[in-house]
Structure 1
């Protein structure tokens, strides 16, 4: 083997070894899962059925009804639903799947009772 071929082969083998070491190190070094931010955990608190105390309904309903033009009826029905279900879905609209009781309570006409 010529000197140039030998040097090229040596470089190739060295690079393969470095790559193998890096791959092995990546497999063995696992970082623990990142902790969920506290704000996201707090955001979901109260969004599942039965997870609120009755006194927590007013602030949750205030947030839920903050984007509507019909605040008074929204607050009335939201607080009524929260008192029964002890949950208020997150956000100002939708997300009712988090609280089946809140989602499934209907008016006499069959429409949604809870905002």
Structure 2
């Protein structure tokens, strides 16, 4: 009888730990996704290294600090930086091309 109780107790503990582990795994998975989710429309976006890409984009600009700051803002909002040092803005889509300054000039370099 004691052996049967011990076996049942071990089985119950084993089931408890399995349930706890699967619950923890689901919580970690949710936390991971919540870190990746960005923007008001709550969609998953790939990681873009804005600093490095904007430094390349603005390397030949006459005012590289101003360019890099504007590029960083555009990259953070649109999650994209066009290739090259100028042009190719259409690669990033409407988010990048349609962003304007307060003076109604294109914001993104």
Which bracket does the TM-score occupy, shorter chain normalised?
A: 0.5 to 0.7
Q: How many residues align?
A: 65
Aligned-CA RMSD value: 1.7
Aligned ranges 1:25-64 → 2 under 5 Å: 52-54=46-48, 56-64=49-57
Shift of 1:52: 4.8
1:85 to 67, 78, 98: 78
**Over alpha carbons, which structure has the higher Rg?**
1
Which residue of the partner structure matches residue 69 of structure 2?
A: 76
Structure 1: stretches of 5+ with no match in the other structure: 1-49
After superposition, the C-alpha distances for 1:25-70 in whole angstroms (9 at most, x for unaligned) are: xxxxxxxxxxxxxxxxxxxxxxxxx96525x000000110011120
Structure 1 72/92 Cα, relative in aligned 2: closer, same or farther at 3 Å? same
TM-score by length of 2: 0.55
The normalised TM-score by structure 1 is: 0.52
**CA gap 1:91/1:52 in 2 versus in 1, 3 angstroms:** farther
- Which structure ranks higher in relative contact order (CA pairs < 8 Å, sequence separation ≥ 6)? 1
